[in-house]
Chain A
Amino acid sequence: MAYKRNIDRLPIIPADARKHNVTCHYCIVGCGYHAYTWPVNKQGGTEPSRNIFGEDLSKQQPAETVAWYAPSMYNIVQQDGRDVHIVIKPDKECEVNSGLGSIRGARMAEMSYSTARNTQQQRLTSPMVWRYGQWQPTSWDDALDLVARVTAQVIKEQGEDGLFVSAFDHGGAGGGYENTWGTGKLYFGAMKIRNIRIHNRPAYNSEVHATRDMGVGELNNCYEDAELADTIVAVGTNALETQTNYFLNHWVPNLRGTSLDKKKSQLPDEPHAAGRIVIVDPRRTVTVNACEAEAGKDKVMHLAINSGTDLALFNAWFTYIDEQGWTDKDFIAKSGADYDAAIAANKTSLEDAARITGLTVDQIRQSAAWIAEPKDGKRRRTMFSYEKGLIWGNDNYRTNGALVNVALATGNIGREGGGCVRMGGHQEGYVRPGDSHVGRPAAYVDRLLIEGKGGVHHIWACDHYKTTLNALRFKQTYKKRTDMVKDAMSSVPYGDRAAMVNAIMDAIRKGGLFAVDVDIVPTQIGQACHVWLPAATSGEMNLTSMNGERRMRLTERYMDPPGQSMPDCLIAARIANHLERVFTEMGDATYAANFKGFDWKTDEDAFMDGYNKNAGGGEHVTYERLRAMGTNGFQEPAVAFKDGKIVGTKRLYTDGKFGAKDGKAHFMATAWRGLQAPGKDEQKAKFKYLINNGRTNHVWQNAYLDQQNDFVMDRWPYPFIDMNPDDMKELGVREGDLVEVFNDDGSTQAMVYPTPSARKGETFMLFAYPSGVMGNVINDGVNEFIIPNYKQTWADIRKIADAPEGVKALTFKSQEFSVG
């Protein structure tokens, strides 16, 4: 039986409830919400005067009402030390989501820490250390002293390259401007750490180097452009499931034709029609289905390319559009550079592209026309979007560049209805001291750890065990190295700090690794660590971030952090304070002085030290001003503060000036070179099934909170693997059966989900799930800038077991909306 809460009524928000601005802390879209709180012994009533909505709640409310909230939007949490009711519900006035809440964001309240209602009891509430062979709570000072002493000793012996760091670089939960600054000032300001990586990849690098190198920042348009475009091109992005309300609130109106009035009024001098869409994805996703339902199949072109061949398609588009004379010659002349060289280097015939991609010549020709063929003599407006299918796909750098080539050639950057943008995963929220010392290519941190390098590892909201490549090998080595230190720690009394540090250092000299995990929950990699430092998350602290159209908002603190947990920025500051003290004690006053400037007491202190002083336009931005800007905020960069409002920037590059040193946008030579990453060709030749991989609608990120949510775990107790029914027959498996996915790099498990729309031999597995880590079977091949290639993975499959008991109640029906 499906999970049911059996909640048949909820407390009503009283008219005088406190209201806080909230931006959803999960995905890039950053939907606007409000958190309402009121004392636990009070409640509103159904009479209009007794509730916040001013509505008669004794009556049924209509569709899309603001005067309703789901049980998932309700909880009881602590605020200033007292229990309060909380409702976190979507804001209809927010331009991003217009009141829509997704299956992920609309559970923020239920996913909050509550002792009263037993939610998220996994949250870390005290610093924990490995003591007497198990995890034990300790004080902040004790934990930080141990961290500082071991870290300082490792730096003394190995230099700063002995300190390895894994740290978020994004916005939203486990990130945000305050926290990227806090960690950044520690590792790039006080120190110059080179062996550092980001949460979802094994190095410190951009996922979109190419577009930046071309002078085109990757978030260059606004969400409204999706309503204005004649054609949307969606590459490797399943927006309905991963940028849900951007898709529903801004793409669908265009496909449905309901944004026509907006097109006519904003762009009066050209013909308009309902939008078309070109979707490049080897898999038929629910996004494809929804687009067909809204626009009609004749307005949707799903280009189901051979996995990893996007580059050849883009080069063919570029070539064909140039040959047809559909380029924006004035734009290229004024703003472009290196066009002729790129055209020559990338020349790809329709026939060659068809052979490589598996598409027909007609499909490529027709999609190019949808992108660039003028409409009654006017330039067609096309918005290009891409995400992990490209970013984690074959030959990331060149493929990214090849798509930007097409967008630039057609004059679609800096104009209404255009843009060439990544869709994004997390929100953004990056402000740090310069990182040029990291170098390019950056260090392949996971490989160095496997090779035994480094003595101490600081981990900030990362879980390599779930979200890296070559994950099985990584885990085997990491456990071995950290176990050496655990065994050493068990050999001396905990209270003898000098003996403890000596024992740890002895183990490190023998190849051991001391690991410190800063996180909100005990992660899988955390199990291997020696110290856990409990962090606060969004809403438990004031937190700023920006979304996929650079819209910056402040989420106001609406509840207390669990127990002794603290914002990451303050944890970083306290680590710096302790390092200063320890280095001083060690007699190195000069080095100790590097750790000055961390006297922050609050999240706002970190914000003012970081964003306000260091971000472009940051001087116009304060907490007070952001509060007044509410859930709509402003679009970065800020350019002024005028009439009580921060003035932002709706689109980038509207003046035709781009980000390269010469102010131009540079076209890039991006010749096709097959499967680029080492080991991919061999894997493909040897193993039968493509193990394509990615996200699903119910789950946020690696399920770090969802793993304790009954509603989600009821649906997905195990990661699914979508499989063609003919493949299932050959393998002798039925729906819900557990199968092993294995190759020479590792093995993992998944639950069979029959998927008639899946092509034979091409499966799709949920990525980064706790009960079956897909990364175990991804080989360690990366591109020239250490960007991993998760998507192109091949493996064999065999049955492990019939569907376990917990799976028998699940539905295995098609996930495609259909009225029959």
Chain B
Amino acid sequence: MKRCDKLAEVGRRRFLSGAFAAAASVPAATLLTERARAATGGARVDYPSNRLANVSELKPNETLEVAYPDDDAPGVLLKLGKRVPGGAGPDGDIVGFSTICPHKGFPLSYNSADKTLNCPGHYSRFDCEAGGQQVWGQATQNLPQYTLRVDDKGDIYAEGVDELLYGRLSNVL
């Protein structure tokens, strides 16, 4: 699966030229999870309630790689340390975002210094503290954010996404 926050180490420019770009463009060969099926006639797709992690696994301002609503849809969980729009958990500071850029589908990279997700393809950047608002970029939508629920045990569940994910015409395949 494509991982986002390793990109800086790989070398952004290498990603952009030649081999790595081709690799990033290869569609995932298999579906790794069960497909959630929309109820007949539903106005929206039915999102699975998937446990992504436990609060104890999150470190402040560090990404935790997840996938939602299936393994072909990479994303991150973040504990931002301050209450933010869409934030879950006791401090309202846990957020989850898709890490596929909604412009052309390149993997986003987390900049912990200003808590943004950045796209090496065409320089779009999204503010994790502002509901994924595109600070600047070529996407025509803000970054899809997860609807999160944290239960008594600290398990973090994703139960929805608020924008269409890149590369699929239905958020649940």
Chain A residues engaging chain B, CB cutoff 8 angstroms: 1-10, 12, 57-65, 68-73, 100-103, 106-107, 110, 240, 244, 248, 256-258, 286, 289-290, 293-294, 697, 711, 714-715, 809-811, 813-820
Contact = CB atoms under 8 A, between A and B. Distances in A.
Contact of B85 (A1, A12, A820): A1
Contacts of A2: 85, 127, 130-134, 142
Q: Which of A2, A71, A240, A820 has the most CB of B within 10 A?
A: A2
A817 B118 contact: yes
A70 B169 CA distance: 8
B167 A68 contact: yes
B13 A294 contact: yes
B85 A815 contact: no
Q: Nearest 7 CB-CB pairs, A to B?
A: A820-B111, A817-B123, A2-B133, A63-B105, A2-B131, A72-B140, A815-B136
Interface residues of B, number: 69
A8 B25 contact: no
A811 B173 contact: no
B109 to A, nearest CB: 5
Interface in B74-130: 85-86, 100, 102, 104-106, 109-114, 116, 118-125, 127, 129-130
Interface of B: 7-8, 12-13, 16-17, 24-28, 31, 35, 38, 44-45, 47, 72-73, 85-86, 100, 102, 104-106, 109-114, 116, 118-125, 127, 129-142, 145, 161-164, 166-173
A256 B127 contact: no
B140 A1 contact: no
Contact of A8 (B86, B110, B170): B170
A6 B168 contact: no
A4 B144 CA distance: 8
Contacts of A293: 12, 123
A820 B169 contact: no
B60 to A, nearest CB: 15
Contacts of B135: 811, 813-815
Given A72-B140, A813-B116, A8 B105 contact: no
Contacts of A819: 7-8, 12, 109, 111, 118, 120
A609 B26 CA distance: 51
Given A60-B73, A100-B138, A811-B130, 10 more contacts: A1-B86, A5-B164, A6-B163, A9-B169, A64-B105, A69-B169, A70-B102, A715-B133, A813-B127, A817-B120
19 contacts: A2-B130, A2-B134, A4-B131, A8-B164, A60-B168, A61-B167, A62-B26, A64-B104, A64-B105, A103-B137, A110-B140, A240-B123, A711-B140, A810-B130, A811-B130, A815-B135, A817-B119, A818-B116, A819-B120
A62 B167 contact: yes
A59 to B, nearest CB: 6
Contacts of B127: 2, 811, 813
Given A813-B127, A819-B7, A5 B163 contact: yes
Contacts of B137: 103, 697
Contact of B28 (A5, A60, A69, A820): A60
A422 B123 CA distance: 24
Question: Would you call the interface of chain B mostly helix, strand, loop, or mixed?
Answer: loop
B129 A811 contact: yes
Nearest to A289: B123
Contact of A103 (B13, B45, B140): B140
B163 A4 contact: yes
A63 B133 contact: no
A793 B7 CA distance: 43
A4 B142 contact: yes
Contacts of A68: 105, 166-169
Contacts of A286: 123, 136
A697 B142 contact: no
Q: Which of A59, A286, A811 has the most CB of B within 10 A?
A: A811
Question: Would you call the interface of chain A mostly helix, strand, loop, or mixed?
Answer: loop
Contacts of B47: 8
A64 B100 CA distance: 11
B131 to A, nearest CB: 4
Given A10-B169, A59-B27, A62-B25, A244 B138 contact: yes
Contact of B136 (A60, A61, A817): A817
Contacts of A809: 85, 130-131, 133
A417 B87 CA distance: 51
Contacts of A1: 85-86, 131
B125 to A, nearest CB: 6
A286 B137 CA distance: 10
Contact of B173 (A59, A711, A818): A59
Contacts of A100: 104, 122, 138
Contact of B138 (A4, A5, A103): A103
Contacts of B38: 9
Contacts of B129: 811
Contacts of A697: 136-138
Contacts of B12: 293, 819
Q: Which of A58, A64, A715 has the most CB of B within 10 A?
A: A64
B162 A4 contact: yes
A248 B121 CA distance: 9
Contacts of A820: 8, 109-114, 118
A816 B111 CA distance: 12
B140 A60 contact: no
B27 to A, nearest CB: 4
A256 B13 contact: yes
Contacts of B73: 60
Contacts of A107: 140
Contacts of B106: 63
B138 to A, nearest CB: 5
A813 B169 contact: no
A2 B95 CA distance: 14
A240 B17 CA distance: 19
A198 to B, nearest CB: 29
A60 B131 contact: no
Nearest to B116: A813
B16 to A, nearest CB: 6
Contacts of B134: 2, 103, 715
Nearest to B161: A8
Contacts of A10: 164, 169-170
A255 to B, nearest CB: 10
B126 to A, nearest CB: 9
Contacts of A248: 122
A101 B31 CA distance: 29
A725 to B, nearest CB: 15
